[in-house]
Amino acid sequence: MSNYIQNQDYKVTKHSINLIMDKLSSLHCKSVYYIGYADKDLVISLKDKYDVKLSDYFDRTNKNTAFWCEGITDDGLYILDGTPIELNIPKWAEDIPVMIEGMSEHDVLILDLPIDWELYPKDYPHKLPDIIFLLGDADSSIFQTTYTWSYEGVWIGRSEKLQKEKELFEEKISMAHDIINDAEAVIITAGAGMSVDSGLPDFRGKEGFWKAYPPIAKLGYDFTQMANPALFTKNPKLAWGFYGHRLNLYRSTTPHDGFKLLLGLVNQKENNYFIFTSNVDGQFQKAGFGEDKIYEVHGSIHYLQCTNACTESIWRNHLNEIKIDMDKLEAQTLPRCKNCKEWARPNILMFGDGQFINTRADEQNKKFHNWRFKNKDKKIVIIEIGAGSAIPTIRNFGDKLSSFDQNVTLIRINPREYEVYNPDDIGIALGGEEGIKKIYYGNE
């Protein structure tokens, strides 16, 4: 037990423990259900008075039972009940799903762990407990609550409050469904979150990026350094290892069912729609949306240009699968410019990119504005999916258009950043595929 660093991240304050114990003493409960890195002092206090059940669902691999996390060793092993254990998860909230299916009936639920609310069972087989405590880094959004709180705080929620919020959430879904039905034209806007449900990686944060590309983690590069035109000159094998892997991945990926529902939706509107997306993966085209009805504001990985922009030429990437040494993430085949024979690169707008050839994107933009002009007097709904605030191109577009045009209403689908700024717009706290299904079918 001497070879570990005390990990304060998972400690519950004495004040919080007293608050919990005082609250429980006013209730007539017999059992407590605890999920997470159970705090030792709190569990000991609870065990003195109550039957404490600890979650058997701790990580993706179901290797471990949740108990108190006493610390972390120098080599990254977690100390659980005095035993160093290697967990298949980092400690960041977005990477720790906790499966809680199979929970037995209980009076009180205590959450002391970052939890991805998307994994919370929608048809929970048991009655929600009367009292729910959220500790540590637990995420109150699993219950679609509007509460925010600091690490050392304790949030206490009653089931009737949660039920009220559930009703408000269903009302928003119903309103969004009706707005879509009444619309005469549809603009579908999408960010990276739209493609995540198809199994494509999420590069949010260094940890998420490095998890998708371990060789890059060893180099210490972040996404902005990899998605940079300078890398094609400095290290073209690595640059094309990264983009070649993404190209292979996008080509082999099947768009999720949400794409199909949206395609059916716009068919019902006599195909009066346009796509406005920052995604470069070509998933909308693959799902059956018309090439002439898509504006890819950041370009497309399926088109190439010269690294040196020797001409304004852009051409379709007809290369077969790019062979990559995945241990080094280095491409073994490198495409060249069809004009000057220097290295070619994807026609994608990268960070600090002064060589991006925008002729294709400009043509798409012109078609989009022509479509907007033809529909200027019609009721338009913007369905925005998975657009984050880190690079807010898509979000800003929707917010501005719905602000300045009274005929436009925005429906924003995002599991975390679902806030809207215009009173008539609607924010839906769901992931892309699930959110699309909800607004398409309503509360059926």
| pLDDT value at residue 296 | 98
Rg of the chain in Å (alpha carbons): 25
Rounded to an integer, the average pLDDT of 111-123 is 43
Q: How far apart are CA 251 and CA 246, in angstroms?
A: 9
Which helix (H) or strand (E) segment holds residue 233: the answer is helix 231-234
Rounded distance, CA 20 to CA 191, Å? 41
Q: Is the pLDDT of residue 145 over 50?
A: no
Give the residue ranges of DSSP H helices in 253-305: 257-268, 283-287
- Supply the pLDDT for residue 319: 81
User: Within 10 A of 8 (CB to CB), how many other CB atoms are there?
Assistant: 8
Selection from 12-16, 66-70, 169-173 with the highest mean pLDDT:
169-173
Q: Which phi-psi region, left, alpha or beta, contains residue 198 (left: φ > 0; alpha: ψ -120 to 50)?
A: alpha
Q: What's the pLDDT at 167?
A: 77
Q: What is the pLDDT of residue 125?
A: 42
In the chain, % of residues over pLDDT 70? 65
pLDDT tens, residue by residue, 160-202: 454 566 678 889 999 999 999 999 999 999 999 899 888 887 6
Give the C-alpha separation, 368 to 354, whole Å.
24
All domains in the chain, ordered by first residue: 5-153 (no CATH), 173-441 (3.40.50.1220)
Mean pLDDT of the chain: 76
CA distances from residue 24 to 12, 20, 30, 243, 354 in whole angstroms, order as listed: 16, 6, 10, 55, 62
For 119-140, b where at least 16 C-beta lie within 10 A, e where not — what string?
Answer: ebeeeeeeebbebbbbbbbbbb
pLDDT at 302 (0 to 100)? 96
Question: pLDDT at residue 26 above 60?
Answer: yes
Amino acid at 173: I
Give the model's confidence band at 433: pLDDT under 50 very low, under 70 low, under 90 confident, else very high: very high
Q: Look at residue 91 and tell me whether its pLDDT is greater than 70.
A: no
Q: Is the pLDDT of residue 154 over 60?
A: no
DSSP helix/strand/coil, 287 = helix
The pLDDT assigned to 327 comes to 87
Share of the chain above pLDDT 90, in %: 48
Mean pLDDT of the 38-61 span = 61
Helix (H/G/I), strand (E/B), else coil: 383: strand
User: What is the pLDDT, as a whole number, of residue 378?
Assistant: 97
Enclosing H/E stretch for 250: helix 236-252
Query: If you search the block for the tokens 């939890």, which residue do you land on?
Result: 115
Q: What is the pLDDT of residues 355-407, one digit of tens each?
A: 999 999 999 999 999 999 999 999 999 999 999 888 899 999 999 999 999 99
Cα–Cα distance for residue pair 242/348, rounded to 1 Å:
13
Mean pLDDT within 137-143 = 42
Q: Residue 170: its pLDDT value, please?
A: 86
Closest CA to 107 of 122, 120, 126, 125: 126
Which residues sit opposite 346 in a β-bridge? 304
> pLDDT digits over 72-81, tens only?
556 655 554 4
pLDDT tens digits for 306-339?
Answer: 999 999 999 999 887 789 998 899 999 899 999 9
Distance between alpha carbon 286 and the CA centroid of its chain, in Å?
21
CA 115 → CA 37, 121, 328, 375, distances in Å?
Answer: 12, 12, 33, 43
Supply 117's token pair: 């609310």
Q: What is the pLDDT of residue 307?
A: 96
pLDDT(15) > 90: no
Whether 332 contacts 323, CB under 8 Å = yes
CB-CB neighbours of 167 under 10 Å:
9
More confident call, 221 vs 148: 221
**pLDDT class for 112, splitting at 50, 70, 90?**
low
The confidence band for 14, taking pLDDT boundaries of 50, 70 and 90, is confident
Burial of residue 88 (number of CB atoms within 10 Å: 0-12, 13-18, 19+): exposed
Distance CA 327, CA 418 (A): 38
pLDDT at 54: 59
| 436: Cα separation from own chain's centroid | 14
> Helix (H, G, I), strand (E, B), or coil: what is residue 357?
coil
Distances (CA, A) of 251 to 116, 184, 254, 350: 29, 33, 8, 21
| pTM of the shown model | 0.69
